[in-house]
């Protein structure tokens, strides 16, 4: 894939069709450049390979974008909310949608089928194209709901150019047909670089798509699609089970629960035991990203941090609930981090964390507001705190997600049992050094704070596990959408518990103080202590003690209309047959 990426960069200007936008009509008449026309290009398997490589370059997000997607999650605090959540957002603010990538895919699908190329190769590359068409449309449906379905390239005089939106059912049935073709025809050879779409990747993505659609239809009863939810949940479970049964992937574990989880997210080369599909970054190729810089900067990033309500969901290593401990909510940071699920100390800066030079590195309140300073995907080299030169690869699909998709689909179908638990949730907890026993009763904390409508203990634990295992992998907002839990985005941004103002606190367990919360910095300061001045939007919940609270001045609202974005005003002006989503008129 690295070689393919380099070739693509050299030839992209001559191979790909000219970009289009919803504001231009002439894109429909664009042809490939003179020397690369169908008659002399789509003639070999190498040509099909080269063309489909362009889909990766054009459609995949950046590494930062994957991680940063979770700033829309309920468990994240940051400098301020997006205008979509806290602001005057309307169809005027919505950007025009773009169909360039779809046209490039459809162009290929109309021209790839050269009889001179072996049938299996043609089917494979058609599968890649149809995978990316499904990828394109899944994003559109998640964002807008009903959208126009186009399966062919269009000319300016095409009668379907300016058509109404097609129903969600038609679009998603078409997405499923594309994914089924991909899952049946893409080569089933494991990619040693985890950077290309293989049959197993297509199956894993299908499990994600079908789980989303099944649960969305189940919980969004206003769509009147609940009768078809189980069909999609069954498809999700079946696709995930095929990945499991293929045994090409497994959970990465060396028997070191204090470090195995984080290894998945800081390695230059994807950990191919578990990482199925990844954006590969590499020092030798000078292909880098800026995630470490974003998480460790007071100005370049948004000072992201996790919220205490979510931190409370991490269990104790003996399998008991942290929230069942008396006084759990007023524990100081060093105590609440002890004997917890090992993923907690690999997701945020915790006890004993040090940078690569050996220096202690507790949560830095210059970089986070809550004290739960995100560590996952952030490298230990201090030099990278100010440079866009991080080289760790960013996973897009992991085997762990497949296990979670399987468990959730089965639970939603009322088919969860001890065997499936042990294969999925139990296995994830065992890797994390957590006792994997099935809980005897539903967790009242999860019910009271997150999911009062859920009484099934399995489903509650699966949702807990999904939040913890996939934290900051760009999936949380989509989970909230499909569960119809957007109201969680209105939750207070709450940080660590502070027993008193002016009290120096140890955050990394080394016995020396790291931070004090004050109204005014003292004239005489303790070396190494950051004095966090409680002004503006930063307060203690009880005045002189309590949780750090941040941005209580924001009015965060998630009305039902926000489960779909509005259709841009510009697009409706261009195509009057488009109708606006409910509530955005």
Question: Rounded CA gap, 394 and 240, in Å?
Answer: 21
Are 97 and 20 a contacting pair, CB within 8 Å? no
Strand partners, 278: 395
Buried residues in 17-27 as b, exposed as e (16+ CB within 10 A):
beebebeeeeb
What is residue 37's predicted lDDT score, i.e. its pLDDT? 64
Instruction: Give me the sign of the Cα torsion angle 160, 165, 170, 175.
Output: positive
Are 306 and 374 a contacting pair, CB within 8 Å? yes
Question: Rounded CA gap, 289 and 328, in Å?
Answer: 38
Question: Rounded CA gap, 477 and 2, in Å?
Answer: 30
pLDDT along the chain (585 residues), means of 10: 41 39 41 57 96 95 94 95 95 95 96 97 98 98 98 83 95 98 98 98 99 98 98 99 98 98 98 98 95 95 96 98 97 98 98 97 95 97 97 98 99 98 98 98 98 98 98 98 98 98 96 96 94 93 97 96 97 95 96
Question: Rounded CA gap, 45 and 477, in Å?
Answer: 39
H helix and E strand count, the chain: 21, 9
What is residue 38's predicted lDDT score, i.e. its pLDDT? 67
Question: Rounded CA gap, 257 and 346, in Å?
Answer: 10
| 95 exposure class (CB count in 10 Å sphere: 0-12, 13-18, 19+) | exposed
What is residue 371's predicted lDDT score, i.e. its pLDDT? 96
Are 178 and 130 a contacting pair, CB within 8 Å? yes
Are 80 and 554 a contacting pair, CB within 8 Å? yes
Tokens standing for 515? 């931070």
Question: Rounded CA gap, 369 and 392, in Å?
Answer: 25
Question: Rounded CA gap, 90 and 565, in Å?
Answer: 9
Are 54 and 62 a contacting pair, CB within 8 Å? no
Half-sphere exposure of 271 (CA within 13 A, CB side): 19
Contacts of 146 (CB under 8 A, 6+ apart): 165, 166, 167, 168, 171
Strand partners, 287: 282
* Short-list 13, 8, 20, CA closest to 51: 8
Place of tokens 């931190």: 311
Q: Where are the domains of the chain?
A: 188-278+395-474, 288-390+491-551
188-278+395-474 fold: 1.25.40
What is residue 147's predicted lDDT score, i.e. its pLDDT? 98
What is residue 160's predicted lDDT score, i.e. its pLDDT? 80
Are 375 and 349 a contacting pair, CB within 8 Å? yes
Q: pTM for the complete prediction? A: 0.93
Torsion of CA 214, 218, 221, 223, to 10 degrees: 10
Question: Rounded CA gap, 397 and 208, in Å?
Answer: 9
* Short-list 333, 308, 324, CA closest to 499: 333
């Amino acid at each position: 894939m690295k070689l393919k990426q380099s070739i693509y960069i050299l030839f992209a200007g001559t191979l790909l069709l000219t970009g289009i936008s919803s504001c231009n009509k002439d894109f429909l008449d664009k042809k490939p450049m003179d020397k690369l026309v169908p008659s002399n290009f789509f003639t070999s398997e190498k040509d099909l390979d080269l063309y489909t490589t362009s889909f990766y370059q054009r459609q995949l997000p950046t590494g930062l974008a994957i991680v940063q997607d979770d700033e829309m999650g309920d468990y994240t605090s940051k400098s301020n909310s997006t205008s979509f959540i806290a602001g005057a957002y309307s169809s005027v603010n919505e950007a025009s949608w773009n169909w360039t990538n779809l046209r490039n895919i459809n162009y290929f699908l109309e021209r790839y089928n050269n009889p001179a190329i072996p049938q299996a190769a043609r089917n494979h590359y058609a599968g890649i194209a149809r995978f990316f068409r499904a990828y394109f449309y899944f994003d559109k449906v998640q964002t807008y709901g009903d959208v126009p379905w186009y399966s062919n390239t269009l000319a300016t005089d095409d009668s379907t150019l300016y058509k109404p939106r097609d129903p969600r059912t038609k679009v998603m049935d078409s997405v499923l047909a594309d994914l089924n073709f991909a899952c049946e025809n893409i080569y089933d050879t494991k990619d040693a670089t985890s950077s290309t779409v293989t049959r197993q990747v297509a199956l894993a993505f299908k499990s994600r798509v079908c789980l989303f659609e099944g649960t969305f239809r189940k919980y969004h009863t206003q769509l009147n699609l609940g009768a078809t939810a189980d069909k999609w949940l069954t498809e999700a479970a079946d696709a995930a089970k095929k990945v499991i049964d293929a045994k090409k992937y497994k959970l990465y574990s060396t028997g070191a629960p204090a470090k195995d989880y984080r290894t998945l997210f800081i390695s230059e080369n994807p950990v191919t035991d578990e990482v199925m599909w990844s954006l590969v970054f590499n020092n030798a190729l000078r292909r880098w990203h800026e995630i470490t810089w974003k998480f460790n900067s007071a100005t370049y990033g948004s000072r992201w941090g996790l919220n205490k309500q979510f931190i409370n969901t991490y269990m104790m290593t003996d399998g008991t609930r942290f929230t069942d401990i008396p006084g759990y909510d007023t524990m100081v940071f060093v105590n609440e981090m002890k004997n917890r699920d090992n993923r907690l100390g690999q997701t945020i800066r915790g006890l004993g964390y040090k940078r690569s030079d050996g220096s202690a590195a507790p949560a830095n309140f210059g970089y986070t507001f809550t004290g739960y300073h995100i560590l996952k995907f952030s490298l230990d080299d201090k030099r990278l705190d100010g440079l866009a030169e991080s080289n760790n690869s960013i996973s897009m699909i992991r085997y762990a997600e497949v296990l979670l998709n399987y468990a959730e689909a089965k639970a939603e179908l009322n088919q969860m049992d001890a065997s499936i638990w042990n294969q999925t949730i139990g296995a994830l907890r065992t890797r994390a050094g957590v006792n994997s026993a099935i809980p005897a009763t539903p967790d009242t904390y999860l019910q009271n704070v997150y999911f009062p409508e859920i009484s099934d203990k399995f489903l509650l634990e699966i949702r807990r596990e999904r939040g913890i295992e996939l934290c900051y992998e760009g999936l949380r907002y989509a989970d909230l959408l499909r569960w119809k839990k957007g109201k969680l985005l209105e939750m207070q941004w709450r940080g660590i518990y502070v027993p008193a103002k002016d009290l120096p606190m140890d955050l990394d367990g080394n016995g020396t103080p790291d931070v004090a919360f004050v109204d005014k910095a003292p004239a005489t300061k303790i070396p190494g202590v950051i004095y966090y001045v409680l002004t503006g939007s930063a307060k203690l919940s009880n005045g002189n003690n309590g949780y750090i609270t941040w941005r209580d001045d924001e009015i965060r609202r998630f009305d039902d209309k926000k489960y779909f974005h509005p259709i841009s005003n510009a697009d409706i002006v261009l195509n009057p047959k488009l109708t606006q989503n409910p509530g955005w008129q």
